[in-house]
Amino acid sequence: MATEGEPTDLVKVLHLLVLSFSWGMQVWVSFIAGFVLVARVTRHTFGLVQSKLFPVYFYCLLGSSIFSLAVYAVYHPRELLDWHETVQMGLYFVALVTAGLNGQWFGPAATEVMFQMREVEKEHGLGEQVGLGSQKEEFAKLREQDPKYRVLKSTFGRYHGLSSLCNLIGFICTTTNLIYTALNLSTI
């Protein structure tokens, strides 16, 4: 593995901590917190919590990705990369791009549409039930009868889907980089 100088122990520790922080945060937010919340609070409370949590989450991921990519790039100049290192550098870059897309575009767009949907739901007495599965018939009826709500629901689905896809891709990149780093602990 060709590198531009050797990283100090502090740099190695910080790099591993930031990478682990990103991975742990992604696991918690993506696979634990959302499922617990959706089963325990009302639909509108869930949306409100997510609207406050996601910007912090996306920008923490963005900052972590910038740091990880920068540290990796400093100690792995492009001219000296083998193909494994090139893939890892690409994964750091993809994680940065997906976090940026979510923080700057998909997350805010989904949140904005969610609040618009929330207003329509309130007008129809919906959204204060616990769990997304309750009152399915009422929500289906609202979607059928209200063209504005149908468009909002479709738009929200698109932004939420793109955001989820970016989040999943970023998680896969972070997981792969964490595994690669663990297998090569003597370097970064």
Kindly state whether residue 101 falls inside one of the protein's structural domains: yes
Question: Which of helix, strand or coil describes residue 126?
Answer: coil
Residue 3 lies in a domain: no
Q: What total of structural domains would you count in the chain?
A: 1
Q: Tens digits of per-residue pLDDT, 50-65?
A: 999 999 999 999 999 9
pLDDT for 187: 66
Asked if residue 1 belongs to a domain, the reply is no
120-157 b/e (C-beta count within 10 Å ≥ 16 → b): bbeeeebbeeeeeeebeeebeebeeebeebeebbebbe
Alpha carbon 63 to its chain centroid, in Å, reads 13
**pLDDT given for residue 4 in this prediction:** 57
- H-run or E-run covering 22: helix 9-27
Average pLDDT, stretch 62-79? 92
- Pick from 106, 74, 92: which is nearest to 180 by CA? 92
Residues of the chain with pLDDT > 90: what percent? 76
Per the domain annotation, does 188 fall within a domain?
no
What is residue 131's predicted lDDT score, i.e. its pLDDT? 77
Question: Confidence class of residue 2 from pLDDT cuts 50, 70 and 90?
Answer: very low
Q: How confident is the model at residue 1 (pLDDT cuts 50, 70, 90)?
A: very low
Check whether 19 has a pLDDT greater than 60: yes
- Could you report the per-residue pLDDT of 40-52, keeping only the tens digit for each? 999 999 999 999 9
The pLDDT value given to residue 78: 80
What average pLDDT is seen over the chain? 92
Residue 88, domain member (yes or no) = yes
Question: Is 4 within the bounds of a domain?
Answer: no
**Owning domain of residue 81:** 9-183
pLDDT at 188: 63
